[in-house]
Every structure is written in structure tokens, then in C-alpha cells.
Amino acid sequence: MKSAEQDRKLTFREWLEHIWYYYKWQILILGLIAVFVIIATVQLFTKSDPDVGIMVVGKTTLTAEGTADFKEVCYSLMSDYNDDGEKSVNYLELTVSENGETTNAQYNSDLTALQRFNTEVASGNSIIYLVNEPYYERLKEFGVLAKLTDVLPASAIPAETVDEYGVYLRELEIHFAAGFSRLPGKLVLCIRRSPEQDDITYGRTMEYWRGNQLFFRSLFEYKHPTEE
């Protein structure tokens, strides 16, 4: 026969304690999964696509303050090209050593940067490049760069250029702007060809490329304020 204690119905609190005692790990795991799903869903629907994609490659590392200054200048020059209600810059910085630096740590770091660079070129997330000369030559070897005359009016192209595809940052007034002034003047500024002309198929639309082209032009036409 069942005892009176066994026949007594559990209160709601006792029932919860009973469930927690026997199934607490399953509950915790399911709870964590639910949290991750909710966070991922929120990020999926709230994440805005970038208006501009910029990749910097060279012996340089912007501080958090420098990166913030760099982006603020970008925001002041750009428009909301994709009309999503927010200005957004996808900024990627790859730090590489100069020629002659051959320590193991630097070699491994350079190899990682090169792999990321190749991946970035294939994916097409970055359309505008500020790169040192070795990486500039790689971009030309890949055949992905647009001629300056194809994307800029003649009035915006400085007299001194590296060649038909790029110009040294030091030749432009944008180099005096906050954030940009912390980058080496010998970095080469160039832009990728449009998806319609590119030999490498990458996952970006013409609309995204046109926004980058407009911003690229604004970098060339920037006039740094003079102190009176």
C-alpha cells in the first residue's frame, strides 16, 4: 500500500524542485541553446550591411582611437549608399613586416596576413585598398584593379600617380585628415574593378561597388581645412 506521503500531491514549488533535481543539466543545456538562437536571430535581423569596404595592408596598426578617427572621417564623407538608414564601414587592417624583417614570428604573421588577403580578394568584401607596394603588385597580378581614369574624373586625379591604377596616399589631402594621417604616406590607394568587369567572381553587387566608387572619389576630392 502507498503511504500517505506518497499519495499526497506535490505542490507547484515541490514539482519544480523535483524537475530541477532530476533534469537540471538538460534544462541548462536547452536554456543555453535557446539564448544562442535568440541572439543569432536578433543579430541576423538587426545587422546592417556595410556601405563601404576598405582593406589596409602595411606595417601599420591603428590604435582604437585611430580607427575611430578614421571611421569618423569616412562617415563625414560618405552617404548611406545602400539606404538601410545607417552609415557603415567594413574596415580590415592587415599588419605585415617590411622587407628584410625575417624573424619566425614575423614570418608566421606575414603568412597569416597573406592568406587573409587572398581570401579577402576572393570574397570581395573590400573594394577600396590602401596597401604597401608588394601587395599592390599582387593586386595588379590578380588583375582586379580599376584604372583611375575609369572611375574618377580627370580633375580628381593628382599629377603624381604610381601608375594608371593607384596613387600614394601622401599625394592626397585626405592624408592630413584624422585617422588617415596615422597611416604611412607610401601606402597606395586603389579600387577594385566592378563585378561586371572582374575576372574573379566575387559575391558583391554592382550597387555595393558603385557606393564604394562614390566614396573612393570623395577621398580624392577631399580638401583639408586650413587654419586661418
Residue 227 has pLDDT above 80, yes or no: no
Task: Give the model confidence (pLDDT) of 160-193 as tens digits.
Answer: 999 999 999 999 999 999 899 999 999 999 999 9
Say if pTM beats, i.e. exceeds, 0.85. Answer: no
- Asked whether 217 and 152 are in contact (CB, 8 A), the reply is yes
Which range is most confident: 19-28, 103-112, 117-126?
117-126
Lowest-confidence segment of 78-82, 84-88, 108-112, 131-135 by average pLDDT = 108-112
Taking residues 107-134, report their average pLDDT: 84
Q: Name the percent of the chain lying above pLDDT 90.
A: 39
Q: Which of the four pLDDT bands, split at 50, 70 and 90, describes residue 33?
A: confident
Pairwise CA distance, residues 223 & 168, whole Å: 16
In the chain, the amino acid numbered 164 is E
Q: Which of the four pLDDT bands, split at 50, 70 and 90, describes residue 58?
A: confident
Taking residues 182-205, report their average pLDDT: 83
Residue 85 has pLDDT above 80, yes or no: yes
CATH architecture of 52-221: 3-Layer(aba) Sandwich (3.40)
CB proximity list for 140: less than 8 A, separation 6 or greater: 165
Burial of 81 (0-12, 13-18, 19+ CB in 10 A): buried
